[in-house]
Structure 1
Amino acid sequence: MPDATDADGLTVGQVSARLGVTVRALHHWDEIGLACPSLRTAAGYRLYTAGDLERLHRIVVYREIGLGLDKIRTILDDSTADVPGALRAQRAQVAERIDRLQQLSAGLDRMIDAHERGLLLTAEQQAAIFGSQWNPDWPAQARQRYGDTEQWSQYAERAASRGPEEWQAVADAIADFERALGDAMDVGVTPGSPEANRLVEWHREVFASYFPLTRQMQVCLGRRWEADPGFAAHYDGIRPGLARWFRQIIDASARAHGIDPDTATWQ
């Protein structure tokens, strides 16, 4: 390699700044013989000529479209290489990546909407699935109250992947459970009995459609459902006194698992 002055070419740092390539990358390409500077100064510093820059420009372009260094070397150095064919193959891969990214973008949009809205359903769809007594403002109210909790995030992640059919399946599962709950109360199932405990476990499974429910959380919900007029009216509308009885079977099951219902907290 002939000696040169700084005026004969560009230094590694200058090329790095001009092409937006790291000095480390330029050194690596030099080491593997992909893009070597044609000149060196008397002090041993690399200098890139105009021809070197042209080769580097092509390398940068090929790297940006996703070609590997070995493929780039073949395109640049093998006169028999099918360059259009290699580029067409790369274009097909880029198209696939674009499609995947578009799907990812759509999924992120749904996730954002689910975190902000709770339910990705129209008011009409909500009424058709959850019944005429359903208030479409409830999800927004729930987000305002619980939007900063882990459980809301878990609920939103589940909601983001659900459409009307999936929500209908959730509503049907809850309806089946509530019918069984009312029937059990009718026949005199007692809190703490195997039948009552099975209902409590069933409830935790059904409720997991929203977020995982610990036994302590379940106790807290049981308390609220009995005390809150809206929730109490819902359960007592299925069977008079069902809200209180439901709380009692939850408490009895909690005691069997070493949990004091009077001191249970949301955890």
Structure 2
Amino acid sequence: MGESRYSVRQLARLAGVSVRTLHVYDKLGLLKPSVRTDAGYRQYGEAELFRLQQILFYKELDIPLKNITEIMDDPGFDLVEALTGHKHALMARRDRINTLLHTIDATIDHLKNKTMSNFEKLYEGLPHEEAIALRQKAIDNWGEAAIRKSEKALTEMSPDRLARLKADQQDIAQRLRALRQTDPQSEPVQKQIDRHYELIRSLWGMDAGEPIKARAYKGLGELYVADGRYMAVDGRPDREFAAFMRAAMDHYADTRLS
């Protein structure tokens, strides 16, 4: 038996997209049918089904169609690696939602009662001893005064602002994991690194307009590579992603920071 073929309407129904969407993808060169009949009808095979799945995963992460085309048409694109990246991104999203659902009420109550006087609450989701170790490593790298400044800024934030920062942190990580097979210097990656830079400024308690020095931002990237806990997913270090982050942060620091 030959490979199954799907008409444009069948594929639209299977994937939950509109026929018009598939027509647009065809016009953009993002998803071409494997066969176009003499009558002009589009037919799609197994390879197109997998490609459409990838497109929808990237769209879920708000990657522009133009960038999706660039990512998927890259000669180095690997479907299994891309799926692994999507899995990590979805795991990060799941963890973010679970954390928000289970901790935000407690955090709000904690902040309303002005009892957040210790740093452990700033590192939710990590075992207590791991939080202490990460804090000490941060002190070793940037000094206790800088870390205390960061902790003070976070404890003084409103509950809504703190929740937004945590959500942004997870969202940025999720999007970057989905782009991990892309050139670290590419526009879609650097756009997310710019968000990461601004997030770090907030987490470090820096004043409005106060920049992070290039050396300090690069140092953070080196820390990601040196200590697997920073880029871990479900407790498992991800050295490849850490190296990707370092390369992307190095480029950002070299081109945007002084």
TM-score by length of 1: 0.42
Q: Which has the higher contact order (CA 8 A, sep 6+)?
A: 2
Q: If you compute each CA radius of gyration, which structure gives the higher value, 1 or 2? A: 1
TM-score where L is the length of structure 2: 0.43
